[in-house]
Structures are given as structure tokens and as C-alpha cells.
Chains A and B, each alone.
Chain A
Amino acid sequence: MTSVITLLIVVALIAVSLGVAVYTRRSARTSSEFYVAGQNISWLQNALALTGDYLSAASFLGVAGAIAIFGIDKTWDGLGYFGGYIVLLALLAVPLRKVGKYTTSEILTTRFKGSRSLRFGGMMGAVVISTFYVVPQIVGAGALLQLLLGWNFTFSVLVIGVLVIAYVTTGGMRATTYNQIIQGLVLWGAMFIIMILMLGSVFGFNPGDVLAQADNMVPPKLASVLLANDPSVPDFTTLTADQAIAFVSGKLTGQNTALTPGTFAPNWMNTMALAAGLVFGTAGLPHVLTRYYTVRKPKDARTSTIGVLLMIGTFYIMTVFVGLGAMYVLYPDLMGYFLGGKSSIAQNMAVPLLAEHTGGEIMLGVAIGGAFCAILSTVAGLLITIGTTVSHDFYKEVINKTASDRREVLVAKLAIVAMGIMAVGISLGMADQNVSYLVTLAFGMAASIFFPVLFMSIWWKRYTREGALATMIAGLIVSVVFVVATLAEVESVLGLPVLVNPALYSLPAAIVTGVVVSLLTKDVGDVENFMRKAHGNTE
């Protein structure tokens, strides 16, 4: 359990984050001092806001945390999250902005008008993807509370779940653009400060030394599995980092080091599955598509995306060094947590623990508080998006066209509560998973369910209504089956080996199914008007 100082910093950071959200909204609406701030949001501000929205618990806790236990193999997460924005930039950002629609259901029904099945498919896809995106955030928050207050994981997750659901349903509030700009800067700045403190206090400001140490370490996740039943294993908490590393290296001679690829994804199928899922997943994430709402002109969609690439690219480069440095600094702790049955802390808490090690209680508070803010913002955004999708895109359009405003809001809130409960339930079974890994599964599903259908709708004139539906169904079924199989640790499904990400099967399955069905059917929707809108020279 941490000190009062740390706790106060965490509470203060969360209060500031919530306060800024309230204040910016109030002042923007009621105060003339903010007259200039009410002008157009620039591409740079928008890029920072997108960065704040995108950097969730998975990025802040998960990526560096995963590198700290798996080594260089887990840089795939950061690379994939980064590369996803290049796919978005090249293929979708500008056409989506020109069409002016920001949910998959709306985009599809703009081309294939009046299609209830596509609307329903879009809603189901958004719910499934978002649930898998919310789960890691709650797992991360649960592990944070466990570290911060010493509560057990189940109780921590239940508390977080209740708080988040109450926060979203009573306030219906989402962080404003200004708050997200601040969050983006806080998360980026916190990672930068942690890296500098670590380099200064442990590695003499020499990043090369981080790599030199990494080349001597067996990743703790691998080592803990190989040494789990070894009676000669000492109490790691009594050892220094160098002693712990020397002991493990001596026991596991010839094993992968932290700089050897293949510890997490041990063969080409797993590697390519992970790479494909990540790079094509961003373009299908519901809350990322919705953020382009704030971009004013099609051209700004590109410049904002480039700004995001600069911010998150530098962030993920920092996670490489922070993750490898954390592995060295925290080696005895990480081994102790794994072998002592506290995997949930070992999997996700490397960044806060490193912050404490290098910057004391104050930096621990900053790291935990920053992570909480990222979690709250991301979960609130996702839950509200889903509530709206279910109530407006589905309930109002398909079930009850004459529903009153109040009924629509009620349905949205019920959907949020239902999804929140579902996410908390799944989170309870995921305590020992790395949050970045869980997010990669959501990316794999987004890459399979939404990316192919959006890509083909926007670029292929011959794409048909039935083809679009078949694409989503194939992507949904194959990706969900393989994600469940992965989490259930099943080795193969229908003779196909289960991989670390479903995308290697589900993405091609969705594309091939969509192409075949489209070639067999004829209803291409309002293709000419849609294409003129998406690809015309309207600025």
C-alpha cells in the first residue's frame, strides 16, 4: 500500500482532469474571456486531442509493461498502434471526412440506404469491439487500485466498474477537446520524465547502456515460466537487480534475451497475425473514427493524423527504452510478483513501479494518476459511443422509430449499464493478462469486422449490399471464435492453430467473403453519389 502523498497526488490529478472537463465546458459557454478559444480548433490542437484520446491504459501501462516482461518482441504493440494511423491516413481519413459520417453504421447506410441488417451489423460490431477495448482499461484500473490501496483485484474491479458506470450514466459527460489536449500532454510528458529520470539515475544518460543490459537478461515472463518449479529459486525480493539477473541467466543459459525476437510471438504465423491485427485495427475502432468529427476540413484530417503520428511515434520510442530499462531496474520485483502469484501487478505495473523507483512517491502518484485519467477518458468515450449507437442507430432506427427523446436517452443509459456490467464480468477473469495484449485482441477484431467493410465501401464501386453484410458477418464470427479460443488457451480450431491475434484468419476471411458475395450479387447501393461525395474535390 502506498503513501498518503502518492494517494493525494492521484486524487488531485483525477480531480484536475474532471475539473478541467467541467470548467472548459462551462467557461466556453459562459465566459467572454474564452472568446478566442472558441475559434476554430487548429490541426495541432486536434492532433493533441486525438493523441490524448488514443493513449489509453494499454499504451501508458501496457506497452512499456509488456516490453518489461517480454522484451523487444512486444515493441510490435507500439509499432502496430502507430502504423494503424498510416493505414487510416492513406485509405480512410479524408474520404470519411468528406462523406461526413463517423460510425460504420452511418457510413454503410449512406451508400446502402435503408439497410436495417447493415445497421444492426454495425451496431453489433461496435459493441463487441468496444467491449474488448473497455475490458483492458478496467483490468488496468483494477491493477492500479490493487497497487495503490492494497485491495484485492476483484474488489478493485467492482469498485472501478461501479464508478465508471455511475460517472457516464449520471453525467453523460465526455472529456472536452481541451481536456484531451491536456491529457495527451500529461501522458506524453509523464513518460518522458520517467525515461529521463531512469536514464539519469541508472544508466548515466546513455541509452546504449539500456540495450547492453537488455542483451544480458532473460525476459521475466519467460524466466518465471521456466523456473516455476525449480526448488533452487531464491526469494527474489532479497536480491539486487544484478544478482537476480545473474542467477536467472546462469540457470537459463542459451535462452532468449530481452533483445531476441520471438519470446511472445514464436513463429511467423503468430508474428504476422499480430502485425496484421494491429496495423489494420486502428482504422476500424469506433472511438477513433468518431474523433474525426472535430476535424473541420478534409485536408485537416491528414494534417491532424500526421500530428498524431509524431506524438505517438515519439511516445512509443520512449516505451522501448522505458520498458527495457524497467526490466533491468525491476527484475527482482517482476520475478517475485510472477513467482509469488501476483501476475496482475507484474503484467501491467512496470511503469508506475519504475516511476516510484526513480522519482519517489511523487512520480508514482503522477504515473498512477495519469493512467487513471487515461482510463476514465477512454472508457467514458467508448461507453457513450456505444450507448448512442445502440439507442440511436439501432433502437430508434430499427425497433421504435417513434421513440421519444427521453426514451432514447433511457435506452442509451441501459445499454451503457449492460455493457459496463458485461465488461466488469469479463475483466474479473482477465486479472493475469497484460492490458496491451487484451487491446491487441480488440484491434484484431476491428481489423476484421470494420476495416474491410469500410475499405471496400469507400474504394470499390462493385461492392454490394449483400457483400458488405457478408464481410462483417465473416469477420465477426471468425475473429470472435479465435479470440475466445485464444483466451481459453485452446490450441487449434478446425485444424487451424490458435494464434496470438485472430487477424491472420479473420481479415482474409472477411475480405474474400465480401468479394465473392459481391461478385454474385448486384445491389451496389447509391454508389455514384457516394463516390462523388467521398472522392470529389470538396474542401
Chain B
Amino acid sequence: MLGNILNRSNGKAGEGNIILLATDGSKPALTATKRAVELAKVTGATLHIVCVKEDLMRMPLEMMGEEVAERELMGIHAKGGEVAMEWAARNSVPAVLKTYEAGPVVGAILDYARRIDPTYVVLGHAGRSGWEKIALGSVAEGVMKHSPYPVIMTRGYDDSYIADILEIALAKIRLPEEVMEEVSMVPMEELHIGRKLGVAFGTLLAFLIPYFGLGALNSWAADTATAKVLGDANVTVIWVLLLFPIGWVTAIVFHRMASRKEAEA
């Protein structure tokens, strides 16, 4: 099948040619990675791997809906390139990795493609349809639509097919516990937790004293609270309106103090 595909490739297939793989480390992308490496191995092409650190607010349910699956797998999102490099090395396929620090993904993939002029672009399609497709869009379809190069798209994934490459992917992920182990072993005294808590409480009291003070005034000094001080505005109204700027000043002072301490450290 691959041979048939190659024969439709403007005559550029074969040694010295370039295959561009776009990956985000998801299961469909791991499928595409395996296919791309097979293709490069068969044709003797060099594999260029592009990986984009996509930065979009997504809730875990949406991530799951995208088949990127288990939360720990999300950690691999930006490591898809490293996985592909390792898989290429295992299969003795020469490979180059390009990582973009920010998306959008389609723009980054096509930008890199124009630079290297590949024979093909290979990528995985999550297999969304219907409402999900409308809501979430599709990188694969964006590349298909805008790419001046032939595109080979793998659809969905089969867990048994990607089992071996998935092992590499999982090994790349540092679980939270492992990350914790790597925290530098600063002595606890040098964390100055007590001092930091003191600054935090100082900040809080600067706001909470006038805040609860308003409650005390209203509760125990009703005559003072309703005494007019500025036109028809009584003490309570003025106090309410002043609490907001007090909060702003408190927050800004706290930020400056904390920033200075961090700079000193």
C-alpha cells in the first residue's frame, strides 16, 4: 500500500527525500509516527519531525474527548517529538526534530514544511465527527486544506498497533511523584515559611481589619455608622467605597514586597 502511495508523489520518493511528520504525542499521532517511520525506512527518506507546544485552555473532559486519553498522557503532548526521534533511532531512520514553542498548530506545521520542502506530510487524525468536529476543529483537516504538499493521514488508532511506541511515550512522562523527588533538597529552614506566612498575614490584616471593622461599626455603633460626613453619604457608605482602594493598595504592596524578596533570593 505504501508503495502505491509513493508512486503518486511527484516522482520525489526515494533516497534523499524528506518526510515531514507532525505529532502531538496523542494516540492518533503515535499511529502516524509508526507509519511515517515505516515509510521513511522503506524509501530511505529523512524524517523531519515537527512538534508544537499547543497552548489552549482545555478542561480534562475535552482532553478525554479528544482521545488524548489518560491525564498522564497529556504530559507527553509536547514530548511527541522526542518519542518520534527515539522510535526513528530504533529503526535506524535519520531524523531531525523541530519544536515550536507556541501554536496555532497548522500555521507552525506549514511554516516548517515551506522551509524543508518535504515529499509528504504525515499526520494522525483523531477521528472526530459531527458536533465535536464543529466545536473543536481539526489540525489534520487544516493541514489537508492548506498544504501545498501531499498529505498522508492515518485515522484513529489501534491500541495493539501502538503498544510498543506507547511504552516509550509513557516512559517519557514524569509522574507527579517523580517530579517531587527532583525538587532540590533545600533545607526547610531556608524556605522561610514562617516569614512568608507573616507577610501574608500582614497583607491580609491590612484589608481584613477595615473589612471586619465595617461589620463591627454597623453592629455596635449604629449612630456613628449613619452619621453623615460628606453630603448625604454617611460613614458606612464612605467606608464601603474606601475598602476597594484599600484592597488595591494592599495587593500591590504585597506584590512588590514578594517580588523584591524573590529577586533577593
Contact = CB atoms under 8 A, between A and B. Distances in A.
Interface of A: 22, 25-32, 34-35, 37-41, 72-73, 75, 79, 82-83, 85-87, 89-91, 94, 100-101, 110, 113, 170-174, 176-177, 208, 211-212, 214-215, 259-262, 267-268, 271-272, 275, 279, 290, 293-294, 299, 302-303, 305-306, 309-310, 313-314, 316-317, 320, 381, 384-385, 387-388, 391-392, 405, 408-409, 412, 459, 461, 526, 528-533, 535-537, 539
Q: Is the interface of B mostly helix, strand, loop or mixed?
A: helix
Interface size class of B (residues with CB under 8 A): 35 or more
Contacts of B176: 100-101, 110
Interface in B215-262: 215-216, 218-220, 222, 225-226, 231-234, 236-237, 240-241, 243-245, 247-248, 250-252, 254-255, 258-259, 262
Nearest to A408: B64
Given A30-B138, A30-B141, A260-B226, A293 B258 contact: no
A452 B132 CA distance: 39
B174 to A, nearest CB: 12
A208 B60 CA distance: 49
A28 B103 contact: yes
Given A28-B56, A79-B243, A299-B262, A268 B139 contact: no
Interface centre among B69, B106, B184, B250 (most CB of A within 10 A): B106
Given A86-B204, A172-B62, A294-B57, 11 more contacts: A30-B139, A31-B142, A35-B108, A101-B176, A268-B215, A275-B215, A313-B244, A391-B61, A529-B180, A531-B191, A536-B186
A176 B131 contact: no
A279 B208 CA distance: 9
B161 interface: no
A34 B107 contact: yes
Interface stretch (B3-11, B85-93, B164-172, B193-201): B193-201
Nearest to A18: B135
A536 B183 CA distance: 9
A434 to B, nearest CB: 19
B104 A405 contact: no
B158 interface: no
Contact of B111 (A32, A110, A113, A385): A32
A285 to B, nearest CB: 16
A275 B247 CA distance: 15
A310 B232 CA distance: 27
B207 A83 contact: yes
A531 B193 contact: yes
B244 A317 contact: yes
Contacts of B107: 31-32, 34-35, 38
A384 B197 CA distance: 34
A405 to B, nearest CB: 5
A94 B102 CA distance: 24
Nearest to B208: A279
Nearest to A309: B251
A30 B146 CA distance: 9
Contacts of B231: 208, 211-212
A217 to B, nearest CB: 12
A536 B188 contact: no
Contact of B188 (A208, A293, A299, A531): A531
A533 B188 CA distance: 11
Given A110-B176, A305-B251, A29 B137 contact: yes
Nearest to B71: A392
Contacts of B108: 35
Given A29-B103, A29-B106, A41 B232 contact: no
B251 A94 contact: no
